[in-house]
Amino acid sequence: MVQNVADHLLRRLSQWGVTEIFGYPGDSVNGLVAQMAEVEDGPRFIQSRHEEMSAFEAVGYAKFGGRLGVCMATGGPGAVHLLNGLYDAKLDHVPVLAIVGQASRSAMGGAYQQEIDLHSLFKDVSSAFLETVNVPQQLPNVLDRAVRTALSERAPTTVIIPADVQELDYAPPEHAFKHVPSSAPDRVVGGGTVLPPESELDRAAEVIDAGERVAILVGQGARGASEEVLALADATGAGIAKALLGKDVLPDALPQVTGSIGLLGTKPSWELMRDCDTLVIVGSNLPYSQFLPPFGRRAVEIDIDPRYIGMRYPTEVNLVGDAAGTLRALLERLDPADELRKGRNHWRATVEKNVRRWWEVLDAQAGVAADPVNPMLAVSELSPRLPDDAVVTADSGSATNWYARFLRFGEDNRGSLSGTLATMGCAVPYAIGAKFAAPTRPVIALVGDGAMQMNGLMELLTARRYQDLWDDPRLVVCVLHNNDLNQVTWELRAMAGSPKTPYSQELPDMSYAAFAESVGLVGIVVERPEEMGPAWDRALEAQGPVVIDVHCDGDVPPIPPQAEWSQVTDTVKSLLNGDPDGAGVAARGLATKIQEFLPHGR
């Protein structure tokens, strides 16, 4: 039987190890969709409710599976819908391939039904690689390059295939003028040990050797190098702060790990950066330089990608290399002067003391009475119950704060969110992508009610449909139900100095638990603080997807780690003037902040 283009494409993707395509059908991908039924052991089609969800599912799959995520959409509206998810991949450096249909070649340029200029549409998001397959002989080269580029540059790439081309007989490229061959898929693209020049390693070792108060910042680029990061911290007496995307690089129980950094970060991370004399950045592109040490401290950075190095802090030495290999090479060279040892011990003890104290403050903050449930409690009650191998996703919103600060990861936990695009609506589709990437792990999504209304509710149907494919049945969606676009309400209050504007911030009320039940999932309502822990217990014992609908207090402020007492009291005073929730905010704001000043012996 003669293979057609669609058939060849699906088999080639299989050779690349692709087992799932997250997609939505439509006119211009009919050839591909129909062929999926014919290719035995080929990729299976995972249908979402919206192409943006398919793209997020591919991103979640790639983030948690450590491999290529593939999404598919019809040209025109389907292609437009993919964009936000693909931008999420671009900004967080995730390998995702989008396969998109287009009007048949005979209609192209004819202002045809659903015909839009896909090259213009994808030009920016898919700047790493974007190509249309016009004739069958082009296919292997275009597809393989799209995959290799996505994997090696950790970026979204796009292959456009006009509808009629999908159904043509496949013909391979020939050994001929104007034909371009391609070699067979090789699963290993990028990775491996990449080391900076010896001279730069020597210079970096000198900088670190001279430091008495060393701080390390890790990001997602440090994943797979946790042992080496810890060895560096032990060798130098350093504390370690984690960027949001690197939250799962090191467990939170370690005494020298100060937790998240940034506006959503912790106080010990803030203190670590403020007081260090030397900074080592490993695989992080944290954009908020104001949370790094004041300029003028000595600094070394390690990153695999020279395009993103030295751009957040005026670093003295930039080491382009993979994190684990470069750190090992660096560790061999370290030899600090003896007289530093005492200072380093003192520094380490200070870091550990700050960390211990901070966890006590967080416990006390989560215990502050709220009306009805303190959202911090939702996450702090999860920490002790978090299964060792759980994957956690968090949406953009106040959930991001509580995920960043209150969730305590162990050694094997994985977690992620839309770190750089910070888009709403990713947590549920990420969780679904995670279930396909790691079907044996329980997955938990922390989601605001706005994000749930935007995307999450409809994707519960996708979860219901596919739950039987997952070895571990647990998928828990925890909705922070505050009837408010709370994170932005706080931005308005804190940054714009404006009171809450109900017309833009309040959400239409509904029951998320009842919705879950109505589509055949388990729904649990939490209306009192003492119900929170048992709700997690029940959800984590369930045999299928569960929605926990937590009635949260929107007046609990996500106070940034560096906020001084006077700033908090000033904000509270100004809020009492004209904010509809001013009194509640004032009470909860002061009660939360005051926990930092109270003794909390444990």
Ligand X SMILES: Cc1ncc(C[n+]2csc(CCOP(=O)(O)OP(=O)(O)O)c2C)c(N)n1
- The residue ranges that bind ligand X (CB under 6 A) are 396-399, 422-424, 448-451, 480, 482, 484-488
Residue span binding Mg ion (CB under 5 A) among the ranges 247-255, 408-416, 481-489, 594-602: 481-489
Q: How many distinct helices (H) and strands (E) make up the chain?
A: 23, 18
336 vs 499, beta carbon nearer Mg ion:
499
Longest dimension (CA), the chain: 79
Q: How far is the C-alpha of 593 from the C-alpha of 258, rounded, in Å?
A: 19
- When binding is defined by CB under 5 A, the residue of 419, 450, 558, 589 that contacts Mg ion is 450
Quick one: what does residue 131 bind among Mg ion, ligand X, none, with the CB cut-off 5 to 8 Å set by partner type? none
Q: Could you count the other beta carbons within 10 Å of the beta carbon of residue 498? A: 15
Least CB distance from residue 88 to ligand X, whole Å? 10
Quick one: what does residue 423 bind among Mg ion, ligand X, none, with the CB cut-off 5 to 8 Å set by partner type? ligand X
Strands laid side by side in the 298-303 sheet: 257-260, 239-242, 214-218, 278-282, 298-303, 317-320
Least CB distance from residue 426 to ligand X, whole Å? 9
Least CB distance from residue 492 to ligand X, whole Å? 11
69 vs 448, beta carbon nearer ligand X:
448
Least CB distance from residue 231 to ligand X, whole Å? 38
Q: Using CB atoms, what's the residue nearest to ligand X?
A: 448
* DSSP 8-state class, residue 529: G
Site string for Mg ion, 238-257 (x = CB under 5 A): --------------------
Least CB distance from residue 510 to Mg ion, whole Å? 12
User: Are residues 526 and 550 in contact, defined by beta-carbon separation less than 8 angstroms?
Assistant: yes
Residue span binding Mg ion (CB under 5 A) among the ranges 265-273, 371-379, 443-451, 465-473: 443-451
- Which contiguous run of DSSP H or E holds residue 216? strand 214-218
237 vs 448, beta carbon nearer Mg ion:
448
Quick one: what does residue 547 bind among ligand X, Mg ion, none, with the CB cut-off 5 to 8 Å set by partner type? none
Quick one: what does residue 475 bind among Mg ion, ligand X, none, with the CB cut-off 5 to 8 Å set by partner type? none
Q: Could you count the other beta carbons within 10 Å of the beta carbon of residue 530? A: 10
- When binding is defined by CB under 5 A, the residue of 153, 381, 449, 553 that contacts Mg ion is 449
Q: Using CB atoms, what's the residue nearest to Mg ion?
A: 448
Site string for Mg ion, 208-227 (x = CB under 5 A): --------------------
Residue span binding Mg ion (CB under 5 A) among the ranges 17-25, 267-275, 420-428, 483-491: 483-491
User: Are residues 555 and 477 in contact, defined by beta-carbon separation less than 8 angstroms?
Assistant: no
Q: How far is the C-alpha of 175 from the C-alpha of 264, rounded, in Å?
A: 57
Q: Which amino acid is at 24?
A: Y
Q: How far is the C-alpha of 180 from the C-alpha of 202, rounded, in Å?
A: 44
Least CB distance from residue 266 to ligand X, whole Å? 19
Least CB distance from residue 433 to ligand X, whole Å? 18
- When binding is defined by CB under 5 A, the residue of 260, 266, 482, 595 that contacts Mg ion is 482
Residue span binding Mg ion (CB under 5 A) among the ranges 95-103, 136-144, 157-165, 440-448: 440-448
Q: Residue count of the chain, please give it.
A: 602
Q: Please list the residues that pair with 546 across neighbouring strands.
A: 476, 522
Cα 185 to chain centroid, rounded: 28
CA distances from 372 to 199, 308, 445, 478 (A): 60, 44, 21, 16
- When binding is defined by CB under 5 A, the residue of 185, 265, 415, 448 that contacts Mg ion is 448
Q: Measured between alpha carbons, how far apart are the two ends of the chain, in Å?
A: 73
Quick one: what does residue 488 bind among Mg ion, ligand X, none, with the CB cut-off 5 to 8 Å set by partner type? ligand X
Least CB distance from residue 476 to ligand X, whole Å? 17
Residue labelled with tokens 């509640």: 584
508 vs 599, beta carbon nearer ligand X:
508
Rounded-to-5 percentages of helix, strand, coil across the chain: 45, 15, 40
Torsion-angle region of 497 (φ positive above 0: left; ψ -120 to 50: alpha; else: beta): left
In terms of Cβ atoms closer than 10 Å to its own Cβ (0-12, 13-18, 19+), residue 199 is: exposed
Least CB distance from residue 399 to ligand X, whole Å? 5
Nearest to 207 by CA among 327, 309, 299: 299
Q: Which amino acid is at 176?
A: A
- When binding is defined by CB under 5 A, the residue of 400, 453, 486, 595 that contacts Mg ion is 486
313 vs 490, beta carbon nearer Mg ion:
490
116 vs 525, beta carbon nearer Mg ion:
525
Binding interface with Mg ion (CB under 5 A): 448-450, 482, 484, 486
